[in-house]
Amino acid sequence: MVKNILVSSTLRDDFKIILPLLRSELVFVNYLADNEINPLNILRLNANLIFLFQNSDRNGSFDICKQIKSNPYTRKTRIIIIRNISQEKIESPSEAIYIDNIFYKPLRPVELLNSIMDEISPRINSERIAIKSNEKNESILYLDRDNYTASIDNKNIPLSRKEFELIQLLASRKGKVFRREELFNKVWNKTSEFENRTLDVHIRRIRKKMGHNLIVTKKGIGYMLNVFEN
């Protein structure tokens, strides 16, 4: 089902990087000036979710939220407020009535994407993970456990079942170094004298398909997923 979200035009740069990923999920972003975000435009665009930027003077955005939540036709529309990290993190009782969630800048793409999908989609058996595409840049790894499919930055990666299960296991504990024997036992459900060769072959194939930076080797111990951290 197609979903539409309304975003304050002041947040355009924050959403730019995740637009292709949203479109792939049939989620479309409509940018409007704050004074254009009102019940009439929400109904016209059939918006399910709204993102507003709230500066130090909260009155303007608060009035918009109150107007939307007080209208019987738009009161169920979800509203997320974006603030600068420097702003006071105390939420007044009146704000709690009209605002569904609050996030603080800087916004990481994977967190923003997950927040959108959590708000407008039913819970599905999938996960988005921020990974290092190189030393400085962040990419988004998407794992769909129901269909055994994976993608990086919206590019589908063909994986065998065991390759997917291996990535899924590494992603289950971000920051953990998995010992070789643990990986082999959990993915293949057995011990074997061929453990080293089998595991190495699959790791090599995954790196060839998904990039050499995805899996980090900890010499003499095992492997871990190269997740992106601030």
Mind spelling out the 3-state secondary structure of 126-154? EEEEEEECCCCCEEEEEEECCCCEEEECC
CATH number of the domain at 126-225, please?
1.10.10.10
The mean pLDDT of 61-70, rounded to a whole number, is 88
- Comparing 122-136, 163-177, 198-212, the range with the smallest average pLDDT is 122-136
Q: What is the domain partition of the chain in residue ranges?
A: 3-120, 126-225
**pLDDT band for position 39 (cuts 50, 70, 90):** very high
Residue 25's pLDDT band (cuts 50, 70, 90): confident
Mean pLDDT of the chain: 83
pLDDT tens-place string over residues 81-120: 998 876 655 555 566 678 888 888 888 888 888 888 878 7
What pTM was computed for the model?
0.57
Give percent helix, percent strand, percent coil of the chain, each to the nearest 5.
40, 25, 35
For 3-120, CATH number out of 3.60.70.12, 3.40.50.450, 3.40.50.2300, 3.90.550.10 equals: 3.40.50.2300
pLDDT value for 103: 87
How far apart CA 198 and CA 166 sit, in angstroms, is 12
